[in-house]
Amino acid sequence: MQESAPVHPFRAELSATLRLAGPLALANMLQMAVFAVDVIFVARLGQESLAASSLAVAIVAVLMMGLNGVTGAVAPLIAAEIGRRRNSVREVRRSARMALWLAVIIGVAAVAVCFTGEAIMLATGQDPRVAEISGGFIRVLSLALVPMAVANVLRTFVSALGRPVFATMITALAIAVNALGNYALVFGNLGMPALGLNGSAVASTITACVTVLAYVLAIQSDRALRRFHVFGRWWRPEWSRLRQMLALGLPIAATLIAEGGLFSGAAFLMGRVGEAELAAHTVALQIAAFAFQVPFGIGQAATIRVGYHFGAADKAAIGRAGWAAIAIGMAFVCLSALAMLVFPRTILSAYIDVSAPANAGLVALALQYLFVAAVFQLTDGLQAIAAGVLRGVQDTRVPAVIAIVGYWLAGFATSVALGLFTPLRGVGVWIGLAVGLTVAAALLLARWHWRGRFGLLPQAPRPVSAPVIHAVIA
């Protein structure tokens, strides 16, 4: 019988990355659908409520990015431990346990920040009435931060251990729970009180708690995951692992906060420009962020794939994993950019009634912002994946500096200049976003390309092949 031809290593890496990235990207998109449910229900309360919620979510999003950044260091650590195959069960458990510790400790601190939300909004020049409404909303919404951070750690754990489909299924469940919660609590259906805007925040908190419970049940019901005893002896500290996670995670948090802060800062700038511009910005940003979830998921998969090979000290495989992720991501963002350019009104209609005369001004502004979003799809996707592959080789400090320089010195400064001091107004703010993402993408890609020159690769290869690593996570 004739033997089948061997699969080219790069093609095999493409396939492995797609198998991991597919469920993660879908889970990310479903997570955006969870957030979109909130926007859809809140938008029906009026433009003032939508503007107030967008300001609160801008603050919560930055805090959540910081939380996910610090605890997200568990991904390259777990991947490298599996790649090394030395006491992987014990080492993976230690990493997951300390990530859960950080999720709770830093999450509580983030809740405290949210209770100063109204003061933050007033200090940035927001309308006092909108700031008051938003301040009450963010205090309720902050209760979701800790369970959301815990859920993110558990999601990373199951994904790195070869079960990313759990993330997809659980996030789909979260959509249903959040939709039901908003339906019942915002407008007082199903015998529940009509809480208005705060009802949406309560629904988000309930959804986050249900998500954590679902991950716990999934882990405990799966034999391959259960053997890690990730919830065992949760009170036992692993100080060296905690320090290692902070060393990797704090720069990741700085990177994500810098990027999230750029977009949240843009929301505050829009609040200065006008209420209509802020509402249009909120809708357009939801669409851009939804499309971004695919390259973001590919970047998450790249961190794990590159991390496996980094642990095995396979330099050639590290390169293949990184370039495979970048190739897949660029193929997708070209399609998403084309869709925004060709069908912008159709895409907008998923969020608002584009034919209603009352929405004419909002639609006109959102269409302008979507055009700019289509232009920066390429660099937005590229910077997300490049950051992901660099995390796989546990390089986080320099990318954090790149993020601050690109997003703030280049991007936000441009947004301020064009948005507040030129007739471009809201479009100028979005042009600044494009500038920041492009600068960051170019610098991150250059660092990955010259990874050997920067000393980011392991010193000597180990005799561990990619097929063995696949078997470990099967």
* Tokens 């993976």 found at: 92
Residue 138 placed within a domain:
yes
Question: Residue 426 in contact with residue 281, Cβ under 8 Å?
Answer: yes
Closest by alpha carbon to 81, among 307, 404, 353? Answer: 307
Structurally, the chain folds into a number of domains equal to: 1
63, burial (CB in 10 Å: exposed 0-12, middle 13-18, buried 19+): buried
What is the rounded CA–CA span in Å between residue 321 and residue 325?
6
Q: What angle (nearest 5°) sits at the alpha carbon of residue 114, between those of residues 408 and 57?
A: 60
What is the rounded CA–CA span in Å between residue 321 and residue 466?
11
For 318-352, give one letter per residue: b (16+ CB within 10 A) or e. bbbbbbbbbebbeebbeebbebbeeebeebbeebb
Question: Residue 144 in contact with residue 205, Cβ under 8 Å?
Answer: yes
Closest by alpha carbon to 400, among 440, 439, 436? Answer: 440
Distant-in-sequence, close-in-space partners of 4: CB < 8 Å, separation ≥ 6:
none
Neighbour tally for 50: CB within 10 Å: 21
What is the rounded CA–CA span in Å between residue 12 and residue 104?
39
What is the rounded CA–CA span in Å between residue 327 and residue 158?
25
Query: pLDDT tens, position by position, for the chain (474 residues)?
Result: 455 556 688 889 999 999 999 999 999 888 878 877 887 788 778 877 888 887 888 888 889 888 999 999 999 999 998 888 756 888 899 999 999 999 999 999 999 999 998 888 888 787 888 888 888 899 999 999 999 999 999 999 999 998 999 999 999 999 999 999 999 999 899 889 889 889 999 999 999 999 999 999 999 999 989 998 989 888 888 899 999 999 999 999 999 888 888 887 888 788 888 878 888 888 888 888 888 999 999 999 999 999 999 999 999 999 999 999 999 999 999 999 999 999 989 988 887 778 888 788 888 888 999 999 898 888 999 999 999 999 999 999 999 999 999 999 999 999 999 998 998 988 999 999 999 999 999 999 999 999 999 999 887 654 444 433 343 343
Residue 312, classed as helix, strand or coil, is coil
Residue 1 placed within a domain:
no
The per-residue pLDDT for 87 is 60
Question: Residue 385 in contact with residue 299, Cβ under 8 Å?
Answer: yes
Question: Residue 191 in contact with residue 235, Cβ under 8 Å?
Answer: no
Any alpha helices (H) in 356-408, and if so which ranges? 360-375, 377-392, 397-403
Any alpha helices (H) in 44-116, and if so which ranges? 47-71, 74-84, 88-114
The per-residue pLDDT for 460 is 61
pTM of the model: 0.85
Residue 3 placed within a domain:
no
The DSSP symbol for 455 reads T
Residue 162 placed within a domain:
yes
Plot region of 237 (φ>0 → left; ψ -120 to 50 → alpha; else → beta)? beta
The per-residue pLDDT for 464 is 44
What is the rounded CA–CA span in Å between residue 370 and residue 341?
8
Question: Residue 406 in contact with residue 257, Cβ under 8 Å?
Answer: no
The per-residue pLDDT for 179 is 93
Count Cα neighbours of 363 within 13 Å in the Cβ-side half-sphere.
17
Closest by alpha carbon to 295, among 221, 385, 233, 211? Answer: 385
Residue 2 placed within a domain:
no
DSSP string covering 247-286, please? HHHHHHHHHHHHHHHHHHHHHHHHHHH-HHHHHHHHHHHH
Residue 474, classed as helix, strand or coil, is coil
* Tokens 């890496």 found at: 13
250, burial (CB in 10 Å: exposed 0-12, middle 13-18, buried 19+): middle
Neighbour tally for 421: CB within 10 Å: 10
| Domain carrying residue 457 | 9-473
385, burial (CB in 10 Å: exposed 0-12, middle 13-18, buried 19+): buried
